[in-house]
Structure 1
Amino acid sequence: MIEPHSSGEVECVLIDSEHGLLIAIGSDHTDRKVESYNVAISKQVCSKPISQDAWLYTDVADHWDALVMRSYRMINGEKELYQEGQTSNLLAIPDLIKKLTQGDQFPKNHAMLCGTQAVLTQISHGDAFYLELHDPILNRTLTHHYTVTTLDMVQ
């Protein structure tokens, strides 16, 4: 059996849409073994699952720093808190857009992962990941979960 070397990272996802900028929750799932020698490729070899539901960014812009991101990992049937922190730990959305575009307009038909929270235990694999973005001001939560499938190495 191939040893799994990947892990999830809870991230807010900024998405351009016909309704305006949206915020979803997703995972920058990464191969940690590949990351040790090539960060760019480690990000490319894993899927980036995101929630089907999203919020209008304008609905949370005035209290962006109050949002709370969480991830849980499932290991051998046990669900444990893996990451937790406020979006105040991230760059503000206007600053991220400025870094990406050198301006203030988010590109049409684009999506961007917006940063993650520190891991509470140690970075390691999970059989599944559960993601949350909680808005304590409007009392609502975006959620998403996914299972991890490790593919065999092709020789």
Structure 2
Amino acid sequence: MKPSIQISAKLTSKDGSEEATLTFDRAVVGGWTGRDKAALQHHIDELAKIGVQAPAKTPMFYRVGVSRLTGAQAIEVIGDGSSGEVEYTLIKHAGRIWVGAASDHTDRVYEHMGITVAKQLCDKPLANEFWPLDEVEDHWDQIRIRATIRESGEDVVYQEGTVAGLLSPQELLGHLRDEGDDLIEGTLLFGGTCGAIGGVRYSDRFTLELADPVLGRSIRHSYDVIPVPIKG
């Protein structure tokens, strides 16, 4: 039997919202998904500063345990060496592809030892709202992703940009199919991120947002980061 988790979600379309229980049995993290090669190199360079080896190819797809997905408002991490990453996500539900938002929270201390290991060490908080992809595809590049962190008691912009810098959903899914995989029901796929403003760093509070300025709506989620003491 495959492990799975269930998340109570809100499916929001132009016709309104409905509640749904989503069951996930697989989580796939798309990495190095920049469409803009200069921005992609910036992200590679900023991670190289903390010892992360450049990828053999781009994009890459990393599997993490599905139990790492969570809708919780707080996660526990090892010490203070991790950080969040705002990303758009894709799921398939009732035959339709939906867009959401999540944080690919990653342990930066262990990342230089292996990206898969570093990603597996942290929970992946996700917002509980999703939009139909077909409602946003005609203005996809205007969708914005944004993250703030708490520093010295204040919210500071940590990441900000449009998804125009990333592979589009169809491009991302095309690369996934090239690897003999596909987005099937039960899979949550992370679509990539933009660079951190001021460098990758730890914070005890992370807020992520996916905003659609055309339809005037946004998906948002905040969570606290609670360090577990390292005693051996």
Regarding TM over 0.5, the answer is: yes
* Contact 1:128 1:146 (8 Å CA) reproduced: yes
Please tell me the residue identity of whatever aligns with 1:141.
S
Identify the residue that residue 24 of structure 1 maps to in structure 2.
Answer: 100
| Aligned residue among 56, 67, 82 for 2:143 | 67
Deviations 1:71-99 (A, max 9, x none): 00012421100000100000011111111
Identify the residue that residue 226 of structure 2 maps to in structure 1.
Answer: 149
Deviations 1:12-54 (A, max 9, x none): 0111112611111110000000002211100110011100111
Corresponding position: 1:86 with 2:149 = no
Please tell me the residue identity of whatever aligns with 2:90.
L
User: How far apart in 2 are the matches of 1:76 and 1:137?
Assistant: 34
Q: What percentage of aligned pairs have identical amino acids?
A: 35
User: How far apart in 1 are the matches of 2:230 and 2:190?
Assistant: 28
Give the superposed CA RMSD: 1.7
Corresponding position: 1:117 with 2:194 = yes
Q: What is the deviation of 1:130?
A: 0.6
* Contact 1:10 1:83 (8 Å CA) reproduced: yes
TM-score of the superposition, structure 2-length normalised? 0.63
Match of 1:120, SS state, is: coil
**Any unmatched runs of 5+ in structure 1?**
none
* Contact 2:100 2:130 (8 Å CA) reproduced: yes
Q: What is the deviation of 1:136?
A: 0.8
TM-score of the superposition, structure 1-length normalised? 0.92
Corresponding position: 1:134 with 2:218 = no
Comparing both structures, which one devotes a greater share of its residues to strand?
Answer: 2
Please tell me the residue identity of whatever aligns with 1:92.
S
Please tell me the residue identity of whatever aligns with 2:156.
E
Aligned residues: 154
Q: What is the deviation of 1:104?
A: 9.5
| Aligned residue among 119, 125, 131 for 1:49 | 125
Match of 1:71, SS state, is: strand
User: How far apart in 1 are the matches of 2:230 and 2:128?
Assistant: 31
* Contact 1:94 1:104 (8 Å CA) reproduced: no
User: How far apart in 1 are the matches of 2:128 and 2:171?
Assistant: 25
**Any unmatched runs of 5+ in structure 2?**
1-77
User: How far apart in 2 are the matches of 1:18 and 1:74?
Assistant: 38
User: How far apart in 1 are the matches of 2:95 and 2:152?
Assistant: 41
Deviations 1:118-151 (A, max 9, x none): 1111110011101111111111111111110122
